[in-house]
Amino acid sequence: MVQLQVTLLLTVLTTFTRLVAAKAGEIGKPSNKQDDDKLRPQFHLTPGKGWMNDPNGLWYDRKDKIWHAYYQHNKDHNVWNSPISWGHSTSKDLVSWDYYGNALSPKDPGEGYFSGSIVVDRENTSGFFNESTPKEQRAVAMYTHNTNKEVQSLAYTLDGGYSWTEYDRNPVIDMNTAQQRDPKIFWHQDTKKWVMLIARTQKYKVQFFTSKNLKDWEHVSDFEMEVENPSKGDGSSHKWVLTLALHPGSPLGGPLNQYFIGEFDGKRFTPDDHATRLMDYGKDFYSFTTFDSADEEDGPNLGLAWATNWQYATVVPTENFRSFELILERESNFTFWTLYS
């Protein structure tokens, strides 16, 4: 069975991808200088301790000039194990990272807060904020809450991403299924609505939803493909790109990231063709997603991917952490219908 992970990157031809931020409760030393482990990478984001996999909830705080990265994390085990939380690290330069432990964690240790995304709700469409929270720091997270089924829930931060309040009317989407996860949200300027993409992993498709307030969602279309984990791009130019993370499926074995170029009208993505285009041909590039909230002066479209492979992720020979470092930040652009990163 192919496992889908919609790393849904709706981005635009000839433009670059964006950014997002956050913060948590367990302050530590810089994650790439945390210990004497000779196998710890010095130029990749690694957790201070424990397990890391898919990046999610990436954003850039334009007020404090901080890059925030969240990721699937278990700080007490160096292999994938419940409970899965959202780990959190921050950086000023995308090279040196400070580790903050868990940002969002399930109350039941048998459950998980799986991948999702963060958007900056500058105009307070959600009603979560007042004037005491700067517009640049009005971050809202949506994540998959995994119990005996998978539902989509919200949380928001009043301090720039370092602590989170879960929405008291969660979940905001419950399709009564165990295979709907990894929501990716972005603002669609033409329709003045939020757009969300969710992977229906065993239905071979991505579902598109729209909302005016991040709380009430309407299902508007499907893209038929087996995937997981959505991610969005700029939207200011004339082409959109949908990226998908699939496992297995790589020519070299294990997972891959695939992308489609096409049109998006605010409800439906229509690919220009069905050509198979891969973002990376190596074995250690999975679950690519992009940062939210940066404007063009903050830099080009940037994103992170998980720099390992499920074929050997649990046996990498490290001790304090399992070396699932996130790959170096990638700048993505499109030339002659080919994605370069």
CA atoms of 151 and 141, how far apart (whole Å): 14
Comparing 144-158, 187-201, 220-234, 327-341, the range with the smallest average pLDDT is 327-341
Mean pLDDT of 61-68: 96
What φ, ψ does residue 314 adopt, rounded to 5°? -85, 0
CA atoms of 185 and 194, how far apart (whole Å): 7
Chain Cα centroid distance, residue 326? 12
What pLDDT shows up at residue 87?
Answer: 96
The domain limits of the chain are: 45-340
**DSSP letter at 75?**
T
Compute CA distances 206 → 120, 209, 258, 269, 284, whole Å. Answer: 23, 10, 13, 10, 24
CA atoms of 147 and 106, how far apart (whole Å): 10
CA atoms of 184 and 228, how far apart (whole Å): 10
pLDDT of 17 over the 80 cut: no
User: Mind listing the pLDDT tens digit for each residue in 142-189?
Assistant: 999 999 899 999 999 999 999 999 999 999 999 999 889 999 999 999
Q: Are 305 and 327 in contact (CB under 8 A)?
A: yes
pLDDT of 104 over the 90 cut: yes
CA atoms of 142 and 156, how far apart (whole Å): 9
pLDDT of 226 over the 80 cut: no
Q: How confident is the model at residue 330 (pLDDT cuts 50, 70, 90)?
A: low
Nearest Cα neighbor of 4 from 206, 242, 292 is 206
Mean pLDDT of 83-112: 93
pLDDT of 16 over the 60 cut: no
For domain 45-340, say whether CATH 2.115.10.20 is its number.
yes
User: Mind listing the pLDDT tens digit for each residue in 287-311?
Assistant: 888 889 756 555 557 888 888 887 7
Mean pLDDT of the chain: 81
Identify the active-site residue in 35, 36, 37, 54: 54
Q: Are 207 and 198 in contact (CB under 8 A)?
A: yes
What φ, ψ does residue 315 adopt, rounded to 5°? -125, 15
CA atoms of 68 and 87, how far apart (whole Å): 11
Mean pLDDT of 34-61: 83
What pLDDT shows up at residue 303?
Answer: 85
pLDDT of 209 over the 80 cut: yes
Determine whether 54 is an active site residue.
Answer: yes
The SS3 of residue 108 is coil
pLDDT of 227 over the 50 cut: no
Q: How confident is the model at residue 235 (pLDDT cuts 50, 70, 90)?
A: very low
CA atoms of 197 and 181, how far apart (whole Å): 9
What φ, ψ does residue 331 adopt, rounded to 5°? -95, 130
Tokens of 320: 């304090």
What pLDDT shows up at residue 253?
Answer: 78
What pLDDT shows up at residue 14?
Answer: 26
Nearest Cα neighbor of 87 from 29, 25, 149, 136 is 25
pLDDT of 11 over the 50 cut: no
Q: How confident is the model at residue 72 (pLDDT cuts 50, 70, 90)?
A: very high
User: Mind listing the pLDDT tens digit for each residue in 115-147?
Assistant: 999 999 999 999 999 999 999 999 999 999 999
Q: Are 290 and 305 in contact (CB under 8 A)?
A: no
What pLDDT shows up at residue 12?
Answer: 36
Place of tokens 């909230």: 293
Mean pLDDT of 216-226: 88
CA atoms within 13 A on the CB side of 111: 16
Comparing 24-28, 154-158, 185-189, 210-214, the range with the smallest average pLDDT is 24-28
Q: Are 330 and 55 in contact (CB under 8 A)?
A: no
Question: Residue 336: how many CB atoms within 10 A of its CB?
Answer: 5
Comparing 96-110, 226-240, 247-261, 318-332, the range with the smallest average pLDDT is 226-240
Place of tokens 């990265």: 69
Comparing 6-10, 47-51, 100-104, the range with the smallest average pLDDT is 6-10
